[in-house]
Amino acid sequence: MTLNDTHTLLVLGYVWPEPNSSAAGSHMLSLLKMFLEQGYQVTFASPAQQGEHKADLTELGITEQAVAINCSSFDSFIAELNPNIVLFDRFMLEEQFAWRVAKHCPNAIRVLDTEDLHSLRHARHQALKQHTEITNQHLNSDLAKREIAAIFRCDLSLIISDFELALLKNHYAVPEHILWHCPFMVDIENFVESKLSFQDRQHFVSIGNFRHEPNWDAVLFLKQYIWPLIRQQLPKAELHIFGAYPPPKATQLHNSKQGFLVKGWAQDAKQVMQQARVCLAPLRFGAGIKGKLAEAMLCGTPNITTNIGTEGMSMGVEWPGLTSELTYNSSSEITQSDQHLVWAKDLATNAVQIYQDEQLWIQKQKAGYSLIKKHFDKDTIQTRLMQRILDIQQNLHQHRCNNFIGQMLQHHLLKSTQYMAQWIEAKNSR
């Protein structure tokens, strides 16, 4: 399927993709490959510094371009490139560059890859700190107003979680025709189930980029509450913790006598996941869907997680692990520490059960393979997404007319952000 004769995509990245460091990096790489397979000339541009685990996009035939924020040099760059699709990686890049795109390439389809709803993750973090359930006040934060405005302004926003899709439609009243469910994309055709059995595996694994706050919180929760309870019942078990960019405060948690091993960057995440018997992902806040849990399913490794971990991923079928529901006891006599201990006991009980019960373990492993094949098939997801983009391209004027709020917000962004950016640029040039 081809979309038009131009075949030019510009991706504006908040960071340079690191597919071996984060789910966001892996998801972005899937999108880039999808457009390449459709015959697109792809340019990836970013104002960010390059990290040590950055993918070499040039090996795929993608042009890499550094760009500056609040700088008119971008105007000549995009006018010369003249892309017919511009994909913003996270809403912050839409805020920075969308008005320039609209000004110089008004007919380019503007697509926002949300990765996850940052405002939802922030709202849940605030609720956790306040020891309360999430409220409308949390959901309607200033950050949410910025993020939802960016979604309204774009022609299409890619939403990775069906939960977030429903939240956008029902709570924020975002029109359905500018939203598209786009979960992880797995190459099912070449997928091979793990040959490592229950008996071949040992120990627990936890994996996640340390720069992502929910992951760091989960490591602390494991260290302080969950792992001591597991070790009481499984004194020879170890927990191997992997993740990119571990800070000193993380490596200082390493304690071989306790079996709490902070190992940092995993050169081959699939290998370490396959060798473990159980994946621990005790996420207490977050958004989107979880790359570590998708990786665990692919590797045949049952998981222990929370309702935050399963959100947007189970899609009504059996979960490939055991889940704990994180709900708050409203009693004023329950301290925050007591509440955390209640959660930890439930998670630890589930972890020990699945670690020791081979039949349950096999059942959950099979459930993981089934879930991945049913809901994360790359070919199905990509075919539908490309057809949606084609539909928008063929009816772009009417598509935008059907989104008056987006047009209104685009008008005000063009005026306010344009003048602010020009003022900043003039100030910096002095």
Decide: residue 349, CB within 10 A, 0-12 exposed, 13-18 middle, 19+ buried: middle
Residue 263 DSSP SS3:
strand
Contacts of 415 (CB under 8 A, 6+ apart): none
pLDDT at 424: 57
Rounded Cα gap, residues 73 and 139, in angstroms: 37
Each residue's pLDDT tens digit, 380-401 = 999 999 999 999 999 999 999 9
Fold of 190-375: Rossmann fold (3.40.50)
Q: Is the pLDDT of residue 171 over 70?
A: yes
Contact at 8 Å (CB) between 206 and 222? yes
Contact at 8 Å (CB) between 246 and 264? yes
Closest CA to 323 of 376, 285, 375, 282: 282
At residue 6 the predicted structure's pLDDT band, cuts being 50, 70 and 90, is low
Mean pLDDT of the 402-411 span: 90
Q: Is the domain defined by 8-185+378-428 classed in CATH 3.40.50.2000? A: yes
Mean pLDDT of the 281-300 span: 96
Q: Is the pLDDT of residue 152 over 80?
A: yes
Per CATH, 8-185+378-428 and 190-375 having the same topology is answered: yes
Lowest mean pLDDT among 144-153, 239-248, 305-314, 409-418: 409-418
pLDDT at 410: 85
pLDDT at 114: 96
At residue 123 the predicted structure's pLDDT band, cuts being 50, 70 and 90, is very high
The mean predicted confidence, pLDDT, of the chain is: 92
Question: Encoding tokens for residue 193?
Answer: 């189930």
Query: Measured at the alpha carbon of residue 75, what is the angle toward residues 409 and 112, in degrees to the nearest 5?
Result: 45
Contacts of 229 (CB under 8 A, 6+ apart): 344, 345, 348
Each residue's pLDDT tens digit, 302-354 = 999 999 999 999 888 899 999 999 888 766 667 888 888 889 999 999 999 99
pLDDT at 428: 63
Each residue's pLDDT tens digit, 59-85 = 999 999 999 998 889 999 999 999 999
Domain boundaries, the chain: 8-185+378-428, 190-375
Rounded Cα gap, residues 227 and 233, in angstroms: 10
DSSP secondary structure of 143-161: HHHHHHHHHHHSSEEEES-
pLDDT at 236: 96
| Cα radius of gyration rounded to whole Å, the chain | 23
Sheet holding 179-181, edge to edge: 63-66, 41-46, 8-12, 85-89, 109-113, 156-159, 179-181
Q: Is the pTM of the predicted complex or chain greater than 0.95? A: no
pLDDT at 3: 43
Each residue's pLDDT tens digit, 97-117 = 999 999 999 999 999 999 999
